[in-house]
């Protein structure tokens, strides 16, 4: 049998279950107030009627009533001691409701007292006591409607109905007023019960809300901590990648210098030989005694010029071989090209290749590490020389710089008239260690791409219409962009859409 102990039917909704548990808890919490009425008022009524009602009747009635009170008291103690009482609210509500129904029946037994009472004055007194008991009992039981109904109906109806059917107008009026009083009490209890249920529901929802808010806050804090740790880790990895890239770029520069060594030695050798020759000439002039100051000055000036030339080449080699952290600063492309033109020409001349430069001094400055950009250009030029080495006809390399149509960047191009790109290898050009040369390392392009991307630019190649290939790369303008985080060369990606890399 499913007894509707609660105003809302028994539900699987966790909130409703908690509301029911709280209602039952309140029912038992207020129970002691109900006992006071029973314990004090019933003996008092007995005493008042002692001389007019037969004693056995009074004593049996009192004993039965106090027994039901003791049962309710025992139930209340048991409930308080039960650890998981909140898990079975319906069961505890049922027990207490039966006990209250028994109390109500005993109070309803006052019908016998009405029947045996000698006068309407006694009836009025008994009715007054019953009214008070009804009121106090119902008020303490409002958390569970079935409980107060099970208590109030057997308590009030038998005496009231009996009063109503009496011929005595006074008694009938008392019965009618009592019925009205009963209805009002039950209606008020119902209203109070609904308000209480809503308050409980609201309080528990707020509690749940506060709990989920606290949980969400804790979760957010955990995520925040994880994010901070991840960022620190990313920063560490990025710093390591930057260090490795700098080291790799430096190693690559040293390798380039090593490969250019014979040309560089030749280049230094020339002024040294000239110095030696001019020195011989000077000495001969001194020995012959024909000391013409003008001639000696001219010879010494030639020696000084050749020594300056040799020293300039050595300075450039030293500068190119140095190792250092990336230093971004506004630089002009034409100035960068001027600085390494000697190097580039030196390499090209060995293979009878001409280099044509086209970089206007009016181009805006880019934000770059000059040495690294020169390294990229040198890599591209050396590749171009290699590609033209075997090809027929006079080789020409064109290095140009112009404002990129994509605003905020300068685009540098290195165009050759070499063998061009093989379709099978296009997609692999930027892969580290990819090379088609017997003595190649396969790092030049991947390092160049890493450097360009670290500057916030892009590197790509486009086959020329007639022959050869043009490598393009962009660098952001100094006032426009910031360099991005450097990328480790192994993480490079290659764009292979269309005929571009
Ligand atoms: P390496 O020069 O040591 O081979 P790179 O990374 O500089 O390493 O070049 C990778 C490959 O790309 C080269 O081996 C070559 O096959 C190809 N390549 C690079 N530049 C050119 C070019 N200008 N023309 C034709 N092929 C080129």
**178: Cβ contacts below 8 Å, ≥ 6 apart:** 127, 130, 131, 156, 159, 160, 163
What is the rounded CA–CA span in Å between residue 493 and residue 446? 10
Q: Judge contact between 401 and 362, C-beta under 8 A.
A: no
Q: 430 and 297 in one domain? A: no
Averaged pLDDT score across all residues of the chain: 86
Determine the average pLDDT of the residues in 380-408: 85
Which of 248, 396, 429 maximizes ligand 1 atoms within 8 Å of its Cβ, making it the mutation to test the pocket?
429
pLDDT band at 472 (very low <50, low <70, confident <90, very high): very high
In a domain, 242, yes or no: no
Give yes or no for residue 384 CB within 6 A of ligand 1.
Answer: yes
pLDDT by residue (tens digit) across 137-196?
Answer: 888 999 999 999 999 999 999 999 999 999 889 999 999 999 999 999 999 999 999 999
In a domain, 212, yes or no: yes
Give yes or no for residue 437 CB within 6 A of ligand 1.
Answer: yes
- Ligand 1 atom at minimal distance to the Cα of residue 444: 7
Beta-strand pair 395-403/353-359 = parallel
In a domain, 367, yes or no: yes
**149: Cβ contacts below 8 Å, ≥ 6 apart:** 186
Give yes or no for residue 412 CB within 6 A of ligand 1.
Answer: no
Q: 343 and 265 in one domain? A: no
Q: Strands (DSSP E) along 257-369, which ranges? A: 329-331, 353-359, 366-368
pTM above 0.95, yes or no: no
Q: 395 and 278 in one domain? A: no
The SS3 assignment for 329 reads: strand
Virtual torsion, Cα 119, 121, 126, 130, nearest 10 deg: 130
Q: How far is the CA of 383 from the centre of ligand 1 (A)?
A: 5
pLDDT by residue (tens digit) across 34-86?
Answer: 887 778 899 999 999 999 999 999 999 999 999 999 999 999 999 999 988 88
Identify the residue whose C-alpha is closest to ligand 1 atom 16.
436
Q: Tokens for 445? A: 């392009």
What is the rounded CA–CA span in Å between residue 212 and residue 205? 10
Give yes or no for residue 440 CB within 6 A of ligand 1.
Answer: yes
- Ligand 1 atom at minimal distance to the Cα of residue 471: 23
pLDDT at position 7 is 52
pLDDT by residue (tens digit) across 286-324?
Answer: 888 766 778 788 888 989 988 988 888 888 788 777 766
Q: Judge contact between 317 and 357, C-beta under 8 A.
A: no
**Whether the predicted pLDDT of 326 surpasses 80:** no
Determine the average pLDDT of the residues in 423-427: 84
Q: Beginning with the edge strand found earlier in the chain, give each strand of the sheet holding 395-403 in spatial order.
A: 353-359, 395-403, 409-415, 469-476, 459-463
Q: 348 and 291 in one domain? A: no
In a domain, 246, yes or no: no
Q: How far is CA 442 from CA 252, 430, 432, 494, in A?
A: 10, 8, 6, 15
**pLDDT > 90: percent of the chain:** 50
The SS3 assignment for 401 reads: strand
Q: 272 and 397 in one domain? A: no
What is the rounded CA–CA span in Å between residue 126 and residue 79? 33
| Half-sphere exposure at residue 443, Cβ-oriented, CA atoms within 13 angstroms | 18
| Half-sphere exposure at residue 195, Cβ-oriented, CA atoms within 13 angstroms | 7
Locate tokens 């099970």: which residue?
150
472 phi/psi in degrees, rounded to 5: -120, 145
- Ligand 1 atom at minimal distance to the Cα of residue 382: 2
pLDDT at position 175 is 92
Q: Judge contact between 328 and 439, C-beta under 8 A.
A: no
Question: Domain with 292 in it: what CATH number?
Answer: 1.10.287
Q: 360 and 305 in one domain? A: no
**Whether the predicted pLDDT of 335 surpasses 90:** yes
Is 376 exposed, middle or buried (CB count within 10 Å of its CB: 0-12, 13-18, 19+)? Answer: buried
In a domain, 254, yes or no: no
Q: 200 and 56 in one domain? A: yes
In a domain, 227, yes or no: no
Q: Which one has a higher pLDDT value, 335 or 84?
A: 335
Residues in the chain: 501
- Ligand 1 atom at minimal distance to the Cα of residue 430: 6
**Whether the predicted pLDDT of 1 surpasses 50:** no
In a domain, 291, yes or no: yes
pLDDT at position 481 is 54
Q: How far is the CA of 429 from the centre of ligand 1 (A)?
A: 7
Q: Tokens for 49? A: 């009627």
- Ligand 1 atom at minimal distance to the Cα of residue 440: 3
Identify the residue whose C-alpha is closest to ligand 1 atom 20.
383
Contacts by 159-165 with C-beta closer than 8 Å and gap 24+? 159/108, 159/110, 159/111, 159/114, 159/126, 159/127, 159/130, 162/111, 162/114, 162/115, 163/114, 163/123, 163/127
Where does a domain end: 185, 216, 247? 216
Identify the residue whose C-alpha is closest to ligand 1 atom 12.
429
pLDDT at position 441 is 83
Q: Tokens for 91? A: 């069961």
Give yes or no for residue 461 CB within 6 A of ligand 1.
Answer: no
Q: 437 and 382 in one domain? A: yes
User: What sign has the CA pseudo-torsion 337, 343, 347, 353?
Assistant: positive
**Other CB atoms within 10 Å distance of the CB of residue 231:** 10
Q: How far is the CA of 481 from the centre of ligand 1 (A)?
A: 29
Q: Judge contact between 247 and 486, C-beta under 8 A.
A: no
pLDDT at position 25 is 93
Give yes or no for residue 450 CB within 6 A of ligand 1.
Answer: no
Q: 482 and 376 in one domain? A: yes
**Whether the predicted pLDDT of 3 surpasses 70:** no
Locate tokens 């040198």: which residue?
378
Where does a domain end: 182, 198, 216? 216
Virtual torsion, Cα 206, 211, 212, 217, nearest 10 deg: 120
Which of 445, 460, 471, 499 maximizes ligand 1 atoms within 8 Å of its Cβ, making it the mutation to test the pocket?
445
Q: Judge contact between 390 and 419, C-beta under 8 A.
A: yes
pLDDT at position 43 is 93
The number of distinct structural domains making up the chain is 3
Identify the residue whose C-alpha is closest to ligand 1 atom 14.
435
Give yes or no for residue 383 CB within 6 A of ligand 1.
Answer: yes
Q: 445 and 338 in one domain? A: yes
pLDDT at position 2 is 43
What is the rounded CA–CA span in Å between residue 451 and residue 444? 11
Q: What is the 3-state secondary structure (H, E, C) of 363-374?
A: CCCEEECHHHHH
Q: How far is the CA of 386 from the centre of ligand 1 (A)?
A: 8
In a domain, 285, yes or no: yes
**363: Cβ contacts below 8 Å, ≥ 6 apart:** 332, 333, 334, 401, 402, 403, 410
Q: 20 and 122 in one domain? A: yes
**Whether the predicted pLDDT of 8 surpasses 70:** no
Domain that holds residue 360: 328-501
Q: How far is the CA of 336 from the centre of ligand 1 (A)?
A: 23
Q: 170 and 114 in one domain? A: yes
- Ligand 1 atom at minimal distance to the Cα of residue 384: 23
Is 473 exposed, middle or buried (CB count within 10 Å of its CB: 0-12, 13-18, 19+)? Answer: buried
Where does a domain end: 292, 322, 352? 322
């Amino acid at each position: 049998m499913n007894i509707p102990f609660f105003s809302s039917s028994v539900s699987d909704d966790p909130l409703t279950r908690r509301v029911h548990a709280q209602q039952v808890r309140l029912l038992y919490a207020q129970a002691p107030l109900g006992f006071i009425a029973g314990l004090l008022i019933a003996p008092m009524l007995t005493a008042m009627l002692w001389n007019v009602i037969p004693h056995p009747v009074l004593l049996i009635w009192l004993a039965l009533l106090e027994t039901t009170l003791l049962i309710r008291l025992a139930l209340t103690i048991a409930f308080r001691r039960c650890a998981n009482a909140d898990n079975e609210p319906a069961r505890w509500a049922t027990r207490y409701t039966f006990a209250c129904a028994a109390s109500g029946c005993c109070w309803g037994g006052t019908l016998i007292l009405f029947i045996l009472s000698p006068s309407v004055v006694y009836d009025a007194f008994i009715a007054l006591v019953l009214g008070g008991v009804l009121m106090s009992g119902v008020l303490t039981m409002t958390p569970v409607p079935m409980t107060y109904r099970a208590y109030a109906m057997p308590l009030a109806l038998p005496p009231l109905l009996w009063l109503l059917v009496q011929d005595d107008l006074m008694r009938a009026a008392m019965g009618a007023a009592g019925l009205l009083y009963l209805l009002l009490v039950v209606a008020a209890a119902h209203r109070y019960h609904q308000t209480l249920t809503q308050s409980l529901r609201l309080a528990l929802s707020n509690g749940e809300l506060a709990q989920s808010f606290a949980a969400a806050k804790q979760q957010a804090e955990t995520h925040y901590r994880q994010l901070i740790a991840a960022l620190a880790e990313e920063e560490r990895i990025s710093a390591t990648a930057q260090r490795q890239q700098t080291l790799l770029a430096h190693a690559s520069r040293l390798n380039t210098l090593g490969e250019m060594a014979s040309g560089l030695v030749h280049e230094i050798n020339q002024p040294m030989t000239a110095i030696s020759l001019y020195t011989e000439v000077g000495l001969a002039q001194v020995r012959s005694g024909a000391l013409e100051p003008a001639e000696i000055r001219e010879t010494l000036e030639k020696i000084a010029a050749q020594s300056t030339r040799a020293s300039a080449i050595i300075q450039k080699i030293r500068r190119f071989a140095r190792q250092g952290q990336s230093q971004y600063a506004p630089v002009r492309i034409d100035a960068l090209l001027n600085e390494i033109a000697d190097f580039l020409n030196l390499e090209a001349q060995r293979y009878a290749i001409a280099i044509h430069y086209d970089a206007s001094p009016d181009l805006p400055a880019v934000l770059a590490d000059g040495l690294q950009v020169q390294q990229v250009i040198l890599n591209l030029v050396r590749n171009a020389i290699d590609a033209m080495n075997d090809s027929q006809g006079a080789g020409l390399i064109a290095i140009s710089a112009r404002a990129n149509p994509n605003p905020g960047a300068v685009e540098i191009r290195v165009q050759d008239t070499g063998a061009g790109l093989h379709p099978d290898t296009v997609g692999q050009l930027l892969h580290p260690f990819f090379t088609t040369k017997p003595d190649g390392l396969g790092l030049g392009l991947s390092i160049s791409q890493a450097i360009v991307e670290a500057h916030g630019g892009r590197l790509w190649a486009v086959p020329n219409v007639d022959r050869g290939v043009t490598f393009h790369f962009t660098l952001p303008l100094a006032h426009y962009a910031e360099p991005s985080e450097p990328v480790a060369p192994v993480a490079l990606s290659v764009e292979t859409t269309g005929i571009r890399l």
